[in-house]
Copies of this chain bind each other. A is one copy, B any other.
Amino acid sequence: EIVAAIEAALGQGPLSGRRILVTSGPTHEPIDPVRYIANRSSGAQGAAVAQALASLGAEVVFVTGPAEVPPPAGVQVVRVESAGEMSDAVDAALPVDAGVFAAAVADWRVASASGRKLKKSKDGLPSLELAENPDILKRVAHMGEGRPRLIVGFAAETDNVIEHATAKRARKGCDWIVANDVSPETGIMGGSENAVVLITEDGAEEWPRMGKDAVAERLAQRIAAALAE
């Protein structure tokens, strides 16, 4: 790791000269000025991936929602709140050699967020009409000109992990999916360890449970190898 840091500082890492986008953290979708819909995501895995890529010499643009874990040093940080803002920040970061989409982006937002605090009323409960958010991963993966050479999506699942993640890879049009089981009993959500399956065109590769930092280093090495081809 020290060797990698020195190499990176000297511009000699395997990813030196590469520009890589990493999205991370949750998004917050406003309901009104005091309420929002959120995804559970500490941002730990995304921050670790950004750090690992930077330590291999990459120029990293780190687009992060409101995460619990602070951004790593040595990356360009762009802070956003909502999926719409994240989508704009991703566009602004292009072109890149690779994109790692680790953020837990809200699939839906509230169709008409209120500028005033919603009140309890005697007419009953307010209903939240949802609207679909921009699908950032799918959109970038389907870009013609300007598509990053390697696009890595993430899939947080609670059942049928490999099946769901394989379907997600096809649906989104990305190259790889890093999938994990975030059922509460796994302790992965908010924890320091992760147990992932890497889905590529060659199939599903189950990695042993390890620290999120170790997952990040292994993924960064794989990205470096893929971009070197």
Contact = CB atoms under 8 A, between A and B. Distances in A.
Contacts of A39: 34-35
Contacts of A34: 39-41, 104, 156, 158, 182, 189
B128 A132 contact: no
A106 B33 contact: no
A183 B116 CA distance: 9
A38 interface: yes
Contacts of A115: 158
A130 B127 contact: yes
Given A33-B183, A184-B33, A117 B156 contact: yes
Interface string A99-122: 000001011100000011100100
Interface in A126-159: 126-128, 130-132, 156-159
Interface in A168-209: 182-184, 189
Interface of A: 28, 31, 33-41, 104, 106-108, 115-117, 120, 125-128, 130-132, 156-159, 182-184, 189
A31 B36 contact: no
Contacts of A108: 125-126
A107 B120 contact: yes
Contacts of A127: 127-128, 130
Nearest to A132: B125
A184 to B, nearest CB: 6
B37 A37 contact: yes
Given A35-B38, A127-B127, 15 more contacts: A31-B37, A33-B183, A34-B39, A34-B41, A34-B182, A35-B40, A36-B40, A37-B37, A38-B38, A108-B126, A117-B156, A117-B157, A117-B159, A127-B128, A128-B128
